[in-house]
Amino acid sequence: MDTLKLLIAAASGLSLLGCNSQPKGAVQIEKEVLLERSESWDGEPYKAYPSGPPQLTLIRLRIPAHTQLPWHTHPMPNAAYIVSGELTVETRQSGVTRTLRQGQTLAEMVGTEHRGVTGDTPVELLVFYAGTAGMPLSEQR
């Protein structure tokens, strides 16, 4: 019997005897990847992170119903998670739109003018930015 088959057989035997890697009563941790992208929601690849010591920022935004955010850009990669409501994002130049609902994520654009528009309900979202100290999170146009 080769080594791999022997290890599998041993692990199976120990598991049947109750000797698994987690003690009885241990909390089972669940992991779900919500977003893993190397490009923004419009398909534009991220080119690089800002240079310098990193500064991570996580903000909670609450946007009232029937609100159009101003046109803006981001100087660094960031990602959003929709906690509640419905948000439509649109680009200024091409007019491309995408509507996001509760539980969905968005890989934001870098350097491209865009905005968010809410519908009939308020929107709450969490936004994570990967920038550097002193760098603005967004710039209005």
pTM over 0.85: no
Residue carrying structure tokens 């909670």: 60
Q: Which CATH number fits domain 33-140: 3.40.250.10, 2.60.120.10, 3.20.20.10, 3.40.1280.10?
A: 2.60.120.10
Each residue of 75-85: pLDDT tens digit?
A: 999 999 999 99
Distances (CA, A) of 137 to 32, 74, 78, 116: 27, 6, 9, 15
d(CA 99, CA 116): 9
More confident residue, 23 or 54: 54
For the record, the structure tokens of 85 come out as 């409501």
All structural domains of the chain with their residue ranges: 33-140
Residues 6+ apart with CB under 8 A from 29: none
d(CA 81, CA 140): 21
d(CA 16, CA 10): 10
- Is residue 36 a contact partner of residue 91, using CB atoms and an 8 Å limit? no
Each residue of 85-110: pLDDT tens digit?
A: 999 999 999 999 999 999 999 999 99
Each residue of 10-27: pLDDT tens digit?
A: 555 555 555 556 667 888
